[in-house]
Amino acid sequence: MGNMSLFANRKINFLLLIDITLLVYLSVFVSAFSSLDDTGLMEDLQKGALNFASLAPSGGMTYLRPMTLLTYLVDFNLWGAHPVAFHLTNLILHLANACLVYHLCRTCLPESPKREGSAFLSALFFAVSPLNSESVLWVSGRTDSLCCFFFLCSLLVVVNERLAPLSAAGTLLILYSFSLLAKESSFALLGIVPFYLLTVADRRTRVAKWVLSGTVAIVSASYLLLRLGPRGELDSGTSKIVTKIAHQSVLELAYKSLAAFGFYLKKMAWPFPLNLAIQSIYEPFYAAVGIVAVLVIISCFVRFKVSRLPLLIIVFCLGPPLLALHGSIPWTLYAERYLYLSMTGTALLVGLLAAKSRRIPQPLPFLLIIPLAITTIHRSGQWADPVALWRDTVTNSPGLPQAHVVYAYELIQAGRIADAKKSLQRAREMKFENDLYRTCMTTINRDEGGRQASSPPKDSKAQ
């Protein structure tokens, strides 16, 4: 890539990273809460249905995310139900994660003129990628960014060979626990850490490797026990996954996993078109992509040591989304926000490859990031305009009735009752009805009843 002297100053790089990210996500300062989960979250906070007592785990839950809930409670107690405050917390978390990606990439690179520039490229790619926008712009998507923060802190402890084994293990125990309690996606560390220590960390002693791997295993086991709850029953999230997987053949399971794996890798390489509610994919094509990707990943992992950590992050962080897919847990089977953790690996790979490349002109990688930033600015603007966001969603996922219902709700808020009725009609044709659907219908009926009552009878006009 040549001498990256333009980006050799770490302080300037961080200032640029912060300024560019703020510019890309400027619309968060004028965005309201999303009707998708955010408004319900605020209602629960205002009614006291969610409080500090809610942080305690209970059996039968689908999710165990008290760390994320804690941040919502802190925001609410400090600022009330003010959307800017909640959005700003999301943005700060994303910025912190971009800075951690910078530091992780820098830690993995030897001293050279390209080091700071490559780390900046890696962090900038992560910060402005439109694939991460959903986790930043959706208040309820904070689970991903908060989990990622402690996930990256945990990785930095693992790759820091100057830390004493016991000190590293104690710090890792706390950070990994926090990450799991923000979202279960960081369970990927159970695979990443031992494989990294075995294949990359040559200077680590055997004792250090066993201590760190054992720490991750103990935290993972403790988390699973915590999910059982006080009565020891299997939580509903795990139960759904186990039940659905048990009813699939091995070939069907492998086929669907390869297709989803190929789709997600394609998304990380080429995120377009962006879609909030991806319900289905063309499985034959993406299964073929998945097979080719597996072969390429194995080859790169064996041949290029520098690629091992980012590849481990990408692959293992796709595990939780695949399990959620097989368990049919989320309302949308595929989602861009599920890739937030894996994108740290992709960003790291971009920076490490840039440091190793000798022929790429210095400005080119940064110029290639500009289209990503522009796309994210556009996506950020859509999130600030709910009607535009859900119009785009129903266009990309016309067969998803939930999207039509939410679109109808936003149309009602904008006063477009006739268009809302058409959207609800599409949902009704798909034989879908939920609480939001009934709320929309009640609002429409009340509006039509009010207009009829205010209009004089036709006979009186004739008289």
pLDDT tens for the chain, residues 1 to 463: 444 456 888 999 999 999 999 999 999 999 999 988 898 899 999 998 888 877 776 555 567 899 999 999 999 999 999 999 999 999 999 999 999 999 999 999 888 888 999 999 999 999 999 999 999 999 999 999 999 999 999 999 999 999 999 999 999 999 999 999 999 999 999 999 999 999 999 889 999 999 999 999 999 999 988 887 666 666 677 777 788 888 889 999 999 999 999 999 999 999 999 998 898 899 999 999 999 999 999 999 999 999 999 999 999 999 999 998 888 777 788 989 999 999 999 999 999 988 887 766 667 788 889 999 999 999 999 999 999 999 999 999 999 999 999 999 999 999 999 999 999 999 999 999 888 899 999 999 887 776 665 555 544 333 2
pLDDT of residue 64: 84
DSSP 322-382: HHHHHHT-SSSSB-GGGGHHHHHHHHHHHHHHHHH-SSS-TTHHHHHHHHHHHHHHHHHHH
pLDDT of residue 3: 46
pLDDT of residue 61: 56
pLDDT of residue 453: 59
CA-atom Rg of the chain in angstroms: 24
Closest CA to 335 of 175, 168, 135: 135
pLDDT of residue 365: 82
pLDDT of residue 37: 86
| Cα distance between residue 173 and residue 185, in whole Å | 16
